[in-house]
Structure 1
Amino acid sequence: MKINIEIECTPEEARSFMGLPDVSVANNVYVENIAKAMQGISNPDQLQQYASALAPMGQVGLKLFQSFVEGGMKAAQGGSKPSE
Protein backbone atom coordinates (compact mmCIF):
# COMPACT_ATOMS: atom_id res chain seq x y z
CA MET A 1 0.00 0.00 0.00
CA LYS A 2 1.23 3.45 -0.85
CA ILE A 3 -0.06 6.67 0.70
CA ASN A 4 0.91 10.13 -0.53
CA ILE A 5 0.33 13.20 1.58
CA GLU A 6 0.83 16.68 0.15
CA ILE A 7 1.30 19.64 2.46
CA GLU A 8 1.40 23.21 1.20
CA CYS A 9 3.53 25.47 3.33
CA THR A 10 6.33 27.98 3.11
CA PRO A 11 9.92 26.93 3.82
CA GLU A 12 9.73 28.79 7.13
CA GLU A 13 6.57 26.90 8.15
CA ALA A 14 8.14 23.56 7.17
CA ARG A 15 11.31 24.35 9.15
CA SER A 16 9.28 25.29 12.21
CA PHE A 17 7.04 22.20 11.91
CA MET A 18 10.08 19.90 11.69
CA GLY A 19 11.79 21.63 14.61
CA LEU A 20 14.75 22.86 12.58
CA PRO A 21 16.53 26.09 13.56
CA ASP A 22 16.11 29.30 11.59
CA VAL A 23 19.45 29.78 9.85
CA SER A 24 18.39 32.68 7.63
CA VAL A 25 20.70 35.17 9.39
CA ALA A 26 23.74 32.89 8.98
CA ASN A 27 22.74 32.21 5.38
CA ASN A 28 22.48 35.94 4.63
CA VAL A 29 25.97 36.54 6.07
CA TYR A 30 27.37 33.61 4.05
CA VAL A 31 25.77 34.80 0.80
CA GLU A 32 26.94 38.37 1.42
CA ASN A 33 30.54 37.20 1.98
CA ILE A 34 30.48 35.09 -1.17
CA ALA A 35 29.04 37.98 -3.20
CA LYS A 36 31.81 40.28 -1.96
CA ALA A 37 34.48 37.70 -2.76
CA MET A 38 33.11 37.09 -6.25
CA GLN A 39 33.36 40.74 -7.28
CA GLY A 40 36.13 41.24 -9.80
CA ILE A 41 36.47 37.61 -10.85
CA SER A 42 37.52 37.48 -14.47
CA ASN A 43 37.81 33.75 -15.26
CA PRO A 44 36.27 30.40 -14.21
CA ASP A 45 39.48 29.21 -12.51
CA GLN A 46 39.35 32.17 -10.12
CA LEU A 47 35.70 31.43 -9.44
CA GLN A 48 36.48 27.78 -8.60
CA GLN A 49 39.31 28.84 -6.29
CA TYR A 50 37.15 31.35 -4.39
CA ALA A 51 34.19 28.99 -4.16
CA SER A 52 36.27 26.14 -2.76
CA ALA A 53 37.91 28.44 -0.22
CA LEU A 54 34.63 29.94 0.99
CA ALA A 55 32.50 26.82 0.90
CA PRO A 56 31.73 25.09 4.21
CA MET A 57 34.31 22.33 4.74
CA GLY A 58 36.32 23.67 1.78
CA GLN A 59 36.65 21.42 -1.24
CA VAL A 60 34.85 18.49 0.42
CA GLY A 61 31.76 20.61 1.05
CA LEU A 62 31.82 21.89 -2.51
CA LYS A 63 31.99 18.35 -3.94
CA LEU A 64 29.22 17.19 -1.59
CA PHE A 65 26.98 20.07 -2.66
CA GLN A 66 27.77 19.40 -6.33
CA SER A 67 26.84 15.71 -6.01
CA PHE A 68 23.66 16.69 -4.13
CA VAL A 69 22.60 19.04 -6.95
CA GLU A 70 23.46 16.48 -9.64
CA GLY A 71 21.49 13.78 -7.82
CA GLY A 72 18.49 16.08 -7.52
CA MET A 73 18.65 16.88 -11.22
CA LYS A 74 18.80 13.19 -12.13
CA ALA A 75 15.86 12.39 -9.86
CA ALA A 76 13.84 15.27 -11.33
CA GLN A 77 14.50 13.93 -14.82
CA GLY A 78 13.46 10.41 -13.85
CA GLY A 79 17.05 9.20 -13.71
CA SER A 80 16.48 7.28 -10.48
CA LYS A 81 15.20 4.29 -12.49
CA PRO A 82 17.68 1.43 -12.85
CA SER A 83 19.49 1.54 -16.18
CA GLU A 84 19.27 -1.41 -18.55
Structure 2
Amino acid sequence: MKITVDVDCTPEELRTFFGLPDVRPMQDALMKQIQDQMAASLHAMEPEAMFKVWLPAGMQGMEQLQKMLWSQFSHGSRPKEK
Protein backbone atom coordinates (compact mmCIF):
# COMPACT_ATOMS: atom_id res chain seq x y z
CA MET A 1 0.00 0.00 0.00
CA LYS A 2 1.34 3.40 -0.95
CA ILE A 3 0.13 6.70 0.52
CA THR A 4 1.10 10.04 -0.97
CA VAL A 5 0.56 13.37 0.75
CA ASP A 6 1.08 16.61 -1.15
CA VAL A 7 1.57 19.78 0.89
CA ASP A 8 1.19 23.05 -0.94
CA CYS A 9 2.79 25.85 1.06
CA THR A 10 5.47 28.49 0.78
CA PRO A 11 8.89 28.13 2.41
CA GLU A 12 7.92 30.83 4.92
CA GLU A 13 4.76 28.93 5.88
CA LEU A 14 6.69 25.69 6.32
CA ARG A 15 9.39 27.42 8.39
CA THR A 16 6.71 28.90 10.64
CA PHE A 17 4.94 25.54 10.94
CA PHE A 18 8.15 23.84 12.13
CA GLY A 19 9.00 26.78 14.42
CA LEU A 20 12.23 27.69 12.66
CA PRO A 21 13.45 31.28 12.93
CA ASP A 22 13.27 33.70 10.01
CA VAL A 23 16.91 34.50 9.17
CA ARG A 24 16.19 36.73 6.16
CA PRO A 25 16.78 40.04 8.04
CA MET A 26 20.15 38.76 9.27
CA GLN A 27 21.11 37.58 5.77
CA ASP A 28 20.08 40.91 4.24
CA ALA A 29 22.13 42.88 6.79
CA LEU A 30 25.17 40.63 6.28
CA MET A 31 24.97 40.89 2.49
CA LYS A 32 24.68 44.71 2.74
CA GLN A 33 27.79 44.81 4.94
CA ILE A 34 29.75 42.57 2.54
CA GLN A 35 28.72 44.70 -0.44
CA ASP A 36 29.76 47.91 1.33
CA GLN A 37 33.17 46.46 2.25
CA MET A 38 33.79 45.20 -1.28
CA ALA A 39 32.79 48.53 -2.83
CA ALA A 40 35.03 50.46 -0.42
CA SER A 41 38.02 48.22 -1.09
CA LEU A 42 37.57 48.42 -4.88
CA HIS A 43 37.36 52.20 -4.87
CA ALA A 44 40.45 52.47 -2.66
CA MET A 45 42.68 50.39 -4.92
CA GLU A 46 44.38 51.54 -8.08
CA PRO A 47 44.25 49.22 -11.12
CA GLU A 48 47.96 48.42 -10.87
CA ALA A 49 47.63 47.49 -7.20
CA MET A 50 44.62 45.29 -7.96
CA PHE A 51 46.59 43.35 -10.58
CA LYS A 52 49.45 42.85 -8.11
CA VAL A 53 47.01 41.47 -5.55
CA TRP A 54 45.07 39.29 -8.01
CA LEU A 55 47.97 37.95 -10.08
CA PRO A 56 51.10 37.93 -7.92
CA ALA A 57 52.28 34.39 -8.62
CA GLY A 58 51.21 34.37 -12.27
CA MET A 59 53.08 37.51 -13.23
CA GLN A 60 56.19 36.61 -11.26
CA GLY A 61 56.13 33.14 -12.77
CA MET A 62 55.93 34.58 -16.28
CA GLU A 63 58.86 36.92 -15.57
CA GLN A 64 60.93 34.06 -14.21
CA LEU A 65 60.09 31.87 -17.21
CA GLN A 66 61.07 34.66 -19.58
CA LYS A 67 64.39 35.20 -17.79
CA MET A 68 65.13 31.49 -17.85
CA LEU A 69 64.37 31.21 -21.57
CA TRP A 70 66.50 34.25 -22.43
CA SER A 71 69.40 32.89 -20.38
CA GLN A 72 69.15 29.56 -22.19
CA PHE A 73 69.06 31.26 -25.59
CA SER A 74 71.96 33.57 -24.78
CA HIS A 75 74.21 30.68 -23.64
CA GLY A 76 73.11 28.47 -26.47
CA SER A 77 73.80 24.79 -26.65
CA ARG A 78 76.36 23.65 -29.18
CA PRO A 79 76.38 20.12 -30.51
CA LYS A 80 79.25 18.03 -29.20
CA GLU A 81 82.02 17.43 -31.66
CA LYS A 82 83.11 13.85 -32.31
What TM-score, normalized to structure 2? 0.39
Higher helix share: 2
Q: What is the TM-score when the length of structure 1 is the normalising length?
A: 0.39
Q: Which has the higher contact order (CA 8 A, sep 6+)?
A: 1
Larger radius of gyration: 2
